[in-house]
Amino acid sequence: MDIIRTIISGILIATGCFLIVIAAIGVVRFPDFYTRMHPAGKGDTLGQGLVLTGLMVYEGFDLISVKLLIIIIFIFIANPTATHALAKAAYVAGVKPWVKDEGDGK
């Protein structure tokens, strides 16, 4: 029973780490500000959620896992909101989006 739980949490943590790395690569690799927000808003949110869920499974049910759940819920609300605030600030400041085949759009 304990071994199964460890394996499940290992899989969850590994997937989450993979998504976090993908988000980092995306932030470095995408061509302009708006597209960079996609990995930051999505990949990071689910990546963290998965790693913390993995820790929750490893822990079992007690006060610590409730704390982890609070962190997960907070991140799922706050991270998209921060992304949205950034996007709006850039949009109001007049950052032009990158469009395919038309210059580099910096």
Task: Name residues contacting other proteins, limited to 19-78 (CB under 8 A).
Answer: 19-48, 51-52, 55, 58, 63-64, 66-68, 70-71, 74-78
22, 56 Cβ separation under 8 angstroms: no
5, 51 Cβ separation under 8 angstroms: no
Size of the site for other proteins (CB under 8 A): 73
Nearest approach in angstroms of CB 25 to other proteins is: 6
Residue 2 or 88: the one with the smaller Cβ distance to other proteins is: 88
CA distance 52 to 34: 27
Residue 1 or 100: the one with the smaller Cβ distance to other proteins is: 100
Q: Is 97 in the site for other proteins (CB under 8 A)?
A: yes
CA distance 103 to 92: 22
